[in-house]
């Protein structure tokens, strides 16, 4: 399966590129969406996307204008998103757990002209409505309100025929706001050509197509799910399984049993929870063809436990909001647990060392840069940051990597997480991987904290419920193991036990929260 490059195209509309192939294949009566008891065929999806697009045109939404979406994962999310793309407007699906302050920032930063929202998020919007500089057109999705347009009402009379706006491959298509765990969210601007990378991994390598059912435990506002559980599957003619609420292990177990997904996308935290709750041992999990993991490093111990429980490997990969699609991934026929795999088809990668030079030797760490069609155009209103991160089609991931003699890429942590201890660079990931070999530890994270002399020293946070009251003995056991297998300077000076790790809404570890905890404990100890 091959795709035309952006340089060969004069015009491109992302919605047309996503839905057009399935209609052209004659999949009109195939199921495109499943959400609980509701199913939507490709023909119905085509018509409802067109009706949504026409409804937004009637409301005055024009090409290039931004529309913020705070909508749960449901068929209406898909109608609105693709409908906006088809008329050349720019959808921005935001984190459903966004704080009021960040929501206000998103509206003002993007200058959004419309807001599509579920009833359950109205309270957050009402908190900041007076802070929004330009009041948007407001559309309710699920419950009718007197002061808002109601999506079913405005779609009902709209025509089910709609010609896609012709756009250039470099024209804006969709924005995604980065998670903003350490500052204000960044508006990541994706162009129409982002969709050209949709089928490389899932189609060319995974063989996804009609008859496949795709489910992701992460919500669609997360780039990982947006790309692999929505955009790519629809383009390839598969069925996507939608779950409106925040899933727990029981919900995922029920979905796997009832809807029988052939591919499941999740994150390490969720795989760990499914193992903890014994859900992974249920027969239905053995019938899933492929499991994928991204979002954070998948510990080798977790890979082994999942393999033992299901008989299926978890294929680890890595992507970013700035690429939507994975740029490194393991494959069913090319798998190396503990690594992020090899470059996905159509992806160029390079590692730049701390000296600014290209790394050509195996096992030497540096920052990974990637180049692919889906790399974002840049950050909205952040010209300096855009120049630093996006250069000649390349994107600086800020992820530290090494590659070995066989071309496998291994994640070393974020560049800003690397720590200099006793004059030597230390990767927190290396220490965490070793700690997680101990079966009593379910989660581990290492951060650097300055001591009273101003020297950075390592602090290990871990979740280890089986240790109980025997913490002192367990700390000695871990310390001895670390010194024996790594090095003295890689041994954390402090070990802190937690009931759970601080995570973002997308399941990523919040290391800055751990640093804050360690600093507070240190202050308390010396005061």
The pLDDT of residue 269 is: 81
Residue 118 has pLDDT above 70, yes or no: yes
Q: What stretch of H or E contains 90?
A: strand 90-93
Burial grade of 268 (CB within 10 A; 0-12, 13-18, 19 or more): buried
Give the pLDDT of residue 272: 87
475 CB-contact burial (10 Å; exposed 0-12 / middle 13-18 / buried 19+): middle
CATH of domain 7-194: 3.40.50.980
Question: What is the Cα–Cα distance from 527 to 523, expressed in whole angstroms?
Answer: 6
What is the pTM (predicted TM-score) of this model?
0.85
What confidence score (pLDDT) does residue 216 get? 98
DSSP lists the bridge partners of residue 424 as 421
pLDDT for 383 equals: 95
Domain(s) labelled CATH 3.30.300.30 in the chain stretch across 419-526
For residues 76 and 91, is the Cβ–Cβ distance under 8 A? no
* Residue 496 bridge partners (DSSP): 461
pLDDT band at 2 (very low <50, low <70, confident <90, very high): very low
Place of tokens 């030797």: 361
* Closest of 262, 255, 256, 252 to residue 206, by C-alpha: 262
What is the model's pLDDT at position 506? 61
- CATH code linked to domain 419-526: 3.30.300.30
Sorting pLDDT into bands at 50, 70 and 90, what band is 128? very high
Provide the edge-to-edge strand list for the sheet that holds 263-266: 38-41, 31-35, 239-242, 213-216, 263-266, 290-293, 314-318, 328-329, 342-343
- Who wins on pLDDT, 307 or 181? 307
Average pLDDT over residues 349-371: 94
Q: Give just the sign of the alpha carbon dihedral 333, 335, 341, 342.
A: negative
DSSP string, 418-464: -EEETTEEE-HHHHHHHHTTSTT-SEEEEEEEE-TTS-EEEEEEEE-
Q: Say what the pLDDT of residue 3 is.
A: 47
Using 50, 70 and 90 to split pLDDT, how confident is the model at 1? very low
Report phi then psi at 48, rounded to 5: -70, -35
pLDDT at 305 over 50: yes
DSSP string of 269-299, one letter each residue = HHHHHHHHTTGGGSGGGGG-SEEEE-SS---
pLDDT at 459 over 90: yes
Cβ atoms within 10 Å of 204's Cβ, excluding its own: 15
The mean predicted confidence, pLDDT, of the chain is 92
180: left (phi over 0), alpha (psi -120 to 50) or beta: left
pLDDT band at 105 (very low <50, low <70, confident <90, very high): very high
Span 25-38, average pLDDT? 98
Residue 27 scores a pLDDT above 50 = yes
In the chain, ranges of CATH 3.40.50.980 domains: 7-194
């Amino acid at each position: 399966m091959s795709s035309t490059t952006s340089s060969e195209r004069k015009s491109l509309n992302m919605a047309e590129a996503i839905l057009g192939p399935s209609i052209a294949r004659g999949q009109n009566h195939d199921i495109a969406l499943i959400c609980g008891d509701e199913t939507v065929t490709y023909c119905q999806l085509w018509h409802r996307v067109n009706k949504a697009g026409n409804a937004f045109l009637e409301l005055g939404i024009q090409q290039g204008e931004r529309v913020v979406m705070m909508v749960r994962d449901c068929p209406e999310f898909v109608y609105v998103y693709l409908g906006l793309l088809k008329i050349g407007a720019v959808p921005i699906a935001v984190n459903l757990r966004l704080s009021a302050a960040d929501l206000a920032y998103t509206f003002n930063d993007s200058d959004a002209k419309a807001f599509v929202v579920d009833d359950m998020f109205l309270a957050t919007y009402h908190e900041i409505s007076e802070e929004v500089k330009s009041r948007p057109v407001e559309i309710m999705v699920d419950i009718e309100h007197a002061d808002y347009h109601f999506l079913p009402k405005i779609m009902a009379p709209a025509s089910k025929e709609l010609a896609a706006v012709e756009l250039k491959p470099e024209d804006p298509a969709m924005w995604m706001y980065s998670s903003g765990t350490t500052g204000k969210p960044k508006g990541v601007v994706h162009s129409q050509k982002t969709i050209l990378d949709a089928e490389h991994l899932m189609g060319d390598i995974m063989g996804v197509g009609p008859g496949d059912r795709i489910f992701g435990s992460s919500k669609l506002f997360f780039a990982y799910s947006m790309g692999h559980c929505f955009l790519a599957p629809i383009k390839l003619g598969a069925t996507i399984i939608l779950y409106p609420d925040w899933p727990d292990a029981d919900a995922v177990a029920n979905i796997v049993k009832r809807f029988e997904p052939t591919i499941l996308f999740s994150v390490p935290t969720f795989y760990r929870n499914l193992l903890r709750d014994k859900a992974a041992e249920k027969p239905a999990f053995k019938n899933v063809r492929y499991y994928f993991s991204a979002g954070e490093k998948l510990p080798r111990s977790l890979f082994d436990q999942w393999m033992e429980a299901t008989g299926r490997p978890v294929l680890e990969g890595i992507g970013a909001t700035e690429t939507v699609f994975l740029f490194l991934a393991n494959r069913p026929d090319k798998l190396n647990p503990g690594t992020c795999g090899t470059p996905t088809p159509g992806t160029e990668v390079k590692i730049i060392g701390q000296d600014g030079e290209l790394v050509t030797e195996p096992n030497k760490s540096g920052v990974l840069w990637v180049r692919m069609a889906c790399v974002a155009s840049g950050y909205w209103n952040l010209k300096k940051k855009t120049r630093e991160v996006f250069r000649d089609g390349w994107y600086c991931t800020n992820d530290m990597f090494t590659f070995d003699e066989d071309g496998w890429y291994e994640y070393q942590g974020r560049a800003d997480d690397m720590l200099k201890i006793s004059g030597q660079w230390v990767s927190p990931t290396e220490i965490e991987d070793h700690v997680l070999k101990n079966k009593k530890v379910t989660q581990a994270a290492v951060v650097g904290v300055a001591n009273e002399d101003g020297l950075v020293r390592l602090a290990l946070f871990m979740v280890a419920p089986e240790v109980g009251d025997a913490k002192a003995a367990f700390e000695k056991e871990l310390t001895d193991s670390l010194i024996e297998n790594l090095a003295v300077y890689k041994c954390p000076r402090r070990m802190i036990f937690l009931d759970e790790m601080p995570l973002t809404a997308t399941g990523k570890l919040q290391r800055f929260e751990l640093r804050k905890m360690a600093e507070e404990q240190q202050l308390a100890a010396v005061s």
